[in-house]
Structure 1
């Protein structure tokens, strides 16, 4: 469902050192909005100064007023920071959007329905789900949000390696092989279960990763209050490779949908959240849950 909105303030956040020409795209967006908007709005460019700065800038911008739009001119990782900043602001009227720049733009590519500048001018705001990862079992356990996916193991590593690599099927295959040769499985203890060994465990809010890896055939998974769980139990390397290549070529087909998934780590485990690499300590309760209609967005 979309609603028409106007904005008193529009803050455009970008990395001035972006490889995707974010400064130029940000300036172009400001110019286009100045020409397209049928009302007066303060439109401000806000460059980042260091890693993680976009979280602070987005949080501060979302707290400035009721009708504020925060735009990230970035790839998926930069947008993840902006989304988390907006969520930290706890302003239910703030709106967040992304203009694709940089290497990975899966979120924008999958959910966009029209050019961003037109959507802003039309005020076409809609609500979408987010993923929330909680690390710990206490009420004050730290949490963060993902707009697209959270992954442990081979599949997210492979997807990011493909995105950083070259274009073309043959070079993509070499990227898969290179990652595959260095990969080791990991063990966790799912809720009310015995310890299990996995090659990959991905929680997906969109159906595709890194342009080529199709994780699921689910429809409308960005706003159904659920997410897909893509599981690769530990198997032989030959079977792992066949599954990974299938994800990069024809897709993995239907995957189960859930609203939450919990497990306990046995060792420190790295994970990827919208392409950014982070880690969780050993013996930590990890909960992945859907945050239904948590983000107001457009585009």
Structure 2
């Protein structure tokens, strides 16, 4: 069982906002409506339950921030994959309301966070109202001081492994299909160099900071008994090596899983060139000569589910 901190008293939500993408290639609109109906029929108290469709990329951040910013015991639900949930989490965190709670109902391709942290059907969990807190990853990429922090609920990745994870989500299930995807992606990949905190320049094929032990449905990043509420995250490092060794390691991640990885509460390095990275699957970028710091935000996010 996950070791999130469970509060003794059940939470009664003054409002519930269900955010979803109406143009989702999956079944997000239908699932959002079903959740609305279930909650309306099963909750033992009266509350305002609102369906909020998004209108454009990044809109979920705005909707979640607005919902949580109204104050009180609001629950913001993301009916989405990991990327959509990332937007909702950031919106809630930016609102600065410690009473606001998040939840995710899996829809779309990538549902690693829901799969790893979920304990029971979401409507049932909301009705019970038991809130627990999980850690988040927070990344600093040299932005202006007045810009809000950027959070990840599951992972932040640079290099090969997050690229493969994204491609795996586009493909079908099964070990054979995943191996083919890994090979195709690997053939196009180039390593990257950074300057680490000791001042030395090193070249990597992949650098991933993980709040959960799995990603991309089947890829096991670490065998460590790491929980998203232990105050630390795992650092999965592929130093630059011959391609055949990188390929074997990547294939092992998608089939058998990697061995136990080191756990830390923060990690810092400096970019040498502009560098793309992924936050819960969403592609972003950081400029050259920027000090990047990834740190754990302990028990930062109240959730149900």
Query: For this structure pair, what is the TM-score category when the shorter chain's length is used for normalisation?
Result: over 0.9
Partner of 2:224: 218
* Contact 1:16–1:23 (8 Å) recurs in 2: yes
Give RMSD over aligned pairs: 1.2
In structure 2, which of residues 102, 120, 123 is the aligned counterpart of residue 117 of structure 1? Answer: 123
For residues 292 and 233 of structure 1, the distance between their equivalents in structure 2, rounded to whole angstroms, comes to: 28
For residues 257 and 42 of structure 1, the distance between their equivalents in structure 2, rounded to whole angstroms, comes to: 41
* Contact 1:135–1:141 (8 Å) recurs in 2: no
Residues 181-232 of structure 1 show CA distances to partners (whole Å, capped at 9, x for unaligned) of: 1000000001123010000000000000011110012224200110000000
For residues 113 and 293 of structure 1, the distance between their equivalents in structure 2, rounded to whole angstroms, comes to: 18
For residues 138 and 104 of structure 1, the distance between their equivalents in structure 2, rounded to whole angstroms, comes to: 31
SS at match of 1:206: coil
SS at match of 2:131: strand
In structure 2, which of residues 103, 107, 118 is the aligned counterpart of residue 101 of structure 1? Answer: 107
* Contact 2:175–2:254 (8 Å) recurs in 1: no
SS at match of 2:204: strand
Partner of 1:28: 34
For residues 28 and 144 of structure 2, the distance between their equivalents in structure 1, rounded to whole angstroms, comes to: 40
Count of residues paired in the alignment: 299
Partner of 1:10: 16
Give 1:210-249 correspondences, 5 Å limit: 210-249=216-255
Give 1:1-299 correspondences, 5 Å limit: 1-3=5-7, 4-136=10-142, 143-299=149-305
In the TM superposition, residue 64 of structure 1 has moved relative to its aligned partner by 1.4
For residues 131 and 230 of structure 2, the distance between their equivalents in structure 1, rounded to whole angstroms, comes to: 17
* Contact 2:213–2:226 (8 Å) recurs in 1: no
Residues 238-290 of structure 1 show CA distances to partners (whole Å, capped at 9, x for unaligned) of: 00000000000100010000000000000000001001111000000100000
For residues 217 and 73 of structure 1, the distance between their equivalents in structure 2, rounded to whole angstroms, comes to: 29
Q: Which moved more, 1:123-132 or 1:185-194?
A: 185-194
Residues 155-180 of structure 1 show CA distances to partners (whole Å, capped at 9, x for unaligned) of: 11111111111222222111111100
SS at match of 2:177: helix
For residues 30 and 229 of structure 2, the distance between their equivalents in structure 1, rounded to whole angstroms, comes to: 32
TM-score relative to the length of structure 2:
0.96
Structure 1's 38 and 206: CA in aligned 2 closer, same or farther, altered over 3 A? same
* Contact 1:267–1:282 (8 Å) recurs in 2: yes
Structure 1's 142 and 296: CA in aligned 2 closer, same or farther, altered over 3 A? closer
TM-score relative to the length of structure 1:
0.98
SS at match of 1:108: helix
SS at match of 2:57: coil
Question: What stretches of structure 1 of length at least 5 have no aligned partner?
Answer: none
SS at match of 1:124: coil
